[in-house]
Structures are given as structure tokens and as C-alpha cells.
Amino acid sequence: MSHAATITAPIGDPIASNEPATREKLEEIFGDLKAHPLFDHELYGCLNCGICTATCPAAHYYDFSPREIVQLLVTENLEGIYDAMQEKIWACAQCYTCAARCPFHNSPGGLIMLMRETAIKHGMQSAKDVLKPFTRVLMKLITTGNQLAPNMITPDAFADWGPNVARIKAPLNILRKAIPMPTMHTTDTAWEVNIKTSIELYTIWEETGVLQQLETIDPNLFDVVSDLMDEKRDEYQEWLDDQDD
């Protein structure tokens, strides 16, 4: 890391409002990345051939290159990694075309995920900003295990989808009941979820640190979710108690 060791001033974008990072912070972030259990599965080396970037959909529209991301990690360019974690990593479309093509078996898309996880762990403001539109999805996911619900798809939220999605004029609940699969007669989840299922899933979130991630990125959402799941647990326990009686 000799090329980086000469930097003594905090690292940061001179025109951004983000706090600059100290040298210790940069090392801590890179340490977390390298210690990630998947890091060695996703990065084997790099020929700098650029096949990953040539095929990358995000590279068509953003200042983003999977080759650059891999190079930053291979060369352990701490300030470059930190800089990429501010914005570039969120451009990736997660298609894994890069991984399928890389002659070295690298997975640039997989490395991006490790960087996103790390950005969240460190509560980076950029991650918080980028994930604001995800609030409803996260709420649905944590409390039900579904990630999308019919009543989330409103004309206001998806105006660019046009008027044809409402070809048949009828209330949403009637249209849903007209689907011939009974599990899908729902409007606030994609399918009816067993209460036991959502409680089991919540236990997984608790045991795997996902709730900590949520609390770091959106404390208000964490509070709402916690209250809701406490109520669900009470409700299920009451049902279990009734069975014993």
C-alpha cells in the first residue's frame, strides 16, 4: 500500500458535503472488505482486459466500470475504494454479466455487493441517500418476507408505466380475487403469508445482523418494524396458547 501511505490529509470529495475520511477509517473499511467471507470467492486477480466493462449495462449510462472496481481492490487503493463507495457502486445493475465473462472467474458484481454491505455497515450517508426509495420494500421484506405488494404499484409511484396497466377498470381487491390461485387473493402482500413464516423470518433477521443494518441505515423504520413484529409475535403466541387450552 505504498502508493496510498503517502497521503496524510483526510480523503474526501472537495465539493461534496460528506465528511472526509481519515486514514484509519479507510483502512477499517478495506479491512472489513478483505475480511468478508466471500471476498476470496469473488476476486482472483485481474488481467485488466476490460471484458467486464465492455459488456456492463451500467457502464453505458454511468461513470462506472467494473474493471476499475476490480483494479481498485487488486491494487488496494484505499482512497479510490472509498471514493467508489460514495456513488459508483450503486450504479451496478447486478446482472452478473461481468462474472460470467471474466476469464479469471472474478465476480465484479459480487464484489460490488460486498462494498454495498460495507457501506451500510459504516452508515455512509451515500448509502442512506441511495436507499431512501427502498423504505417500502424494506418494510414489506422485513415484516412479511415479500418484497413487493400489489397495492405498492400505484399510478403515482409508477406514472411512467402508463395507463395500460389499468386496462380493466375494477377495484384492486376484486381483480386480485379474480386470480385463480387462492394464495394471491391479497393486496398488501404478493401472496398470503403464514404468520408463523414471518416470525421465523424475523428470527433470521435478528440472528444474522440484518436488523442492525436496518437500524444503521434507517432508525425510524427499524422502530416501526420492531413494534410491528412484537405485535405479530404476541398474536401468534396467543394463538398457540389457545391451542393448548
Partner 1 sequence: MASQDEKQGSAYTGFGSEWRPVKLSAEDARTATSWVEKRIDKREMLTGKERVEDVREVMWELEKDGEIVVHRISEQHDPVIGKTLYGWDKRIPTQQLWHHKSCGQCGNIPGYPSSLLWLQNQMGIRYLDETDQTSCTAWNYHGSGIGNIVSLAAVFLRNFHQAYVSSVSQGLPPGYYYPLVHCGTSFGNYKEVRHYLLHSAELREQVKKILGKLGRLVDGKLLIPEEIVHYSEWLHVMRSRIQEHQVIDVSNIRATVHPACHVHKMVPEDVLYDDTVMDGNRVAVSTGLLQTLGAQVIDYSTWYDCCGFGFRHIIGEREFTRSFAIDRKLKVVSEEAHSDVMIGHDTGCITTLDKSQWIGKAVDKVYPVSVMSDAQFAALACGAHPYKLAQLHWHASPFEGLLEKMGIDWQKAQAEFEAYLKDVADGRIETLYDPKRAITSGPGYVKPTQIEAKA
Q: Which residue bears the cell 451496478?
A: 92
Q: Which residue bears the cell 413487493?
A: 148
Q: Where are the alpha helices (DSSP H) in 106-171?
A: 108-121, 125-130, 135-144
CB of 98 to partner 1, least distance (A): 9
Between the CA of residue 148 and those of 3, 29, 142, 212, what are the distances in Å?
46, 32, 12, 22
CB of 127 to partner 1, least distance (A): 7
Q: How many residues at the interface with partner 1, by CB under 8 A?
A: 104
Please, are residues 185 and 179 in contact by the beta-carbon 8 Å criterion? yes
Counting every residue, how long is the chain? 245
CB of 23 to partner 1, least distance (A): 18
What are the cell numbers at 133?
426509495
Binding mask 201-230 for partner 1 (x = CB under 8 A): x-xxx-xxxx--xx--x-------------
Among 18, 154, 194, 237, binds partner 1 (CB under 8 A): 194
Residue 21 phi, psi dihedral angles, 5° rounding = -100, 145
Residue 153, Ramachandran bin (φ over 0: left; ψ between -120 and 50: alpha; else beta): beta
Binding to partner 1 (CB under 8 A) within 156-185 occurs at 158, 160-165, 167-168, 170, 174-185
Residue number with CB closer to partner 1 (18 or 240) = 240
CB of 14 to partner 1, least distance (A): 14
Binding to partner 1 (CB under 8 A) within 60-89 occurs at 60-62, 68, 71-72, 74-77, 80, 83
Contact flag: residue 53 with partner 1 (CB under 8 A): no
The angle subtended at Cα 37 by Cα 222 and Cα 27, nearest 5°, is: 80
Among 94, 125, 154, 237, binds partner 1 (CB under 8 A): 94
Contact flag: residue 143 with partner 1 (CB under 8 A): no
Among 146, 222, 225, 229, binds partner 1 (CB under 8 A): 146
CB of 25 to partner 1, least distance (A): 19
User: Positive or negative, the Cα torsion across 37, 53, 80, 18?
Assistant: negative
Contact flag: residue 108 with partner 1 (CB under 8 A): no
